[in-house]
A = this chain, B = another copy of it.
Amino acid sequence: MTEARRRRRGADRAAARKAVALDQQLPAVERKIPTYELFSDESLELALKNAEILLQEVGLDLVNCHRAANAFKTAGQTVTVIEESTGSGAKDQTIHNVRFDKGWCREMMKTLPGAFTQYARNKDRSVPIGGNRTVFAPVYGPPFVMDMEGGRRYGTMADFEDIVKLTYMSPALHHSGGTVCEPVDVPVNKRHLDMIYAHLKYSDKPIMGSVTAPERAQDTVDMLKIVFGADFVHNNACSTSLINLNSPLALDDTMMGALEVYSENHQAVITSPFLISGAMAPVSAMGVMTQALAELFSSMAYTQLIRPGAPAIFGTFAASMSMQSGAPTFGTPEPNHIIYGMAQLARKIGLPFRSGGSLCASKSPDAQAAYETANSLNATVMAGANFVLHAAGWLEGGLVSSKEKLVMDADQLAMLQKFGQGPDLTEDGQAMDAFREVGPRGHYLGAAHTQRHMKTAFYDSKLLDYRPYETWAEDGSPDTYTLANRKMRQMLNDYEAPAIDPAIDEALKDFVDKKKASMPDASF
């Protein structure tokens, strides 16, 4: 074989490998295993009852949410101004407290869809949200990024694009996510434009929108209209955005402003309390669940005041706390109890549920990170979460977006996806023919049943090391971090952008450029 032919053959093989990688994209998990029911129905009813008491007797504070205060008042709820400050030197602040009539929020929530589709620009990659389906999205929000070569540092737009590409290349990540890291090299008031563009350009999986200001949410919607068409966007979820509530029991104008834009435009929101027990919530699972219910009921009811039928996801983010350092901890028993309980409550109410992820406190992609992550991901999947933000790449309590850990976690997600398929109960799965063929003291490798199923029988990790000790030692005894670094670099090297209509791409770029030119840089 000539050198040229050998090279061509090598190139053909590489192309085949890439094609296979894209073909291997997994659909959203379709769970065929039962969910784990940790709480009795009686205790769930108790949490629901206590949440109603909380809404009636303690209520919700609205910080500068004038539209929401008016809407709740108009709808007959008890709204009181409890703080009002105006004048020089301080930001104006108005705080309303809302007390809710028993059952009113639940009544309002009846127009929420129990399940919906989030569309991707590649319609084959649209994802079902709810029911027995689970969608995995990457880490969201870290100011820092980390990889083996560069260490831990503030994120940049180049890092952001790397993470979007790695997510695109990972078969078990069904969703491109949102702020996969904060690109701090772009001014705060403009970075959402680059982020949304990067998701739409470098991936064709579904995306999340900006929530840091109402006008940035509107920019997201406007860019979606360029891609999907205005009419389609108006009636279909082309984005899902994370609305973190201001626990305990408060909502602020930033998040509510974003929620209002998205709900008005029929774009999906994840209303989600962010609860570190002992800080924003009590130190007991029932306490956390009760508070989360009250916060969810009031904010989800508000989405329906904005636009009945607008899709929203019942979200919960829970962490415990280290007694030594006060740092939030993850993959621990207490938040896992809460994931199970909140999932049960979401099912009872009939709404899609968001929680869990590749959560860990560890500062490097070591054994601690993996123990914590696996504990968290097992609970996430067995609880039956429908939308899993932070499903890959989360490190150091969410401060760090790790490129290697994204690759490591994505392998675990593919594995859990296979776990969720459950065992084969068919006659073929019962393997009675294999026993008759092999008999006592035989070996199953050559059996017809084995040969028939060998390729799909077991989860086949593309990352983890199953080589004999000696082979592995000769290769320098690489740990998982090192293996993931190699794979991550290979993926970025192999990456090819999905096709995009050049006219749409131009229109998006034009939108971004004009918006950027229309305002000075700002750091808030």
Contact = CB atoms under 8 A, between A and B. Distances in A.
Interface string A252-281: 000000000000000000000000011111
A435 B275 CA distance: 14
A334 interface: yes
Contact of A46 (B38, B277, B329, B430): B430
Nearest to A36: B36
Contacts of A278: 444-445, 450, 454, 457-458
Contact of A60 (B63, B373, B440, B464): B440
A363 interface: yes
Interface in A319-348: 320-325, 327, 329, 331-334, 336-337, 341
A520 interface: no
Interface in A286-301: 286-287, 290-291
**Size bracket, chain A contacts:** 35 or more
A422 B336 CA distance: 10
A480 B371 CA distance: 10
A524 interface: no
A444 B341 contact: no
A459 B412 contact: no
Nearest to A447: B282
Given A282-B450, A341-B423, A430-B290, A458 B34 contact: no
B422 A58 contact: no
Residue among A60, A284, A416 with the highest chain B CB neighbour number at 10 A: A284
A332 B284 contact: no
Given A432-B53, A479-B364, A460 B374 contact: no
A246 interface: yes
A43 to B, nearest CB: 5
B58 A458 contact: no
Contact of A458 (B59, B334, B367, B374): B334
A351 interface: no
A468 B373 contact: no
Contact of A281 (B363, B444, B466): B444
Contacts of A431: 282-284, 286-287, 290
A453 interface: yes
Contact of A368 (B324, B331, B370, B436): B370
Given A325-B468, A449-B283, A469-B152, A477 B363 contact: yes
Contacts of A460: 322-324
Contact of A367 (B249, B329, B367, B477): B367
Interface string A8-39: 00000000000000000000000001101111
A109 interface: no
Given A283-B450, A458-B329, A249 B445 contact: no
Given A322-B458, A325-B468, 6 more contacts: A54-B432, A282-B435, A283-B431, A334-B457, A368-B465, A396-B469
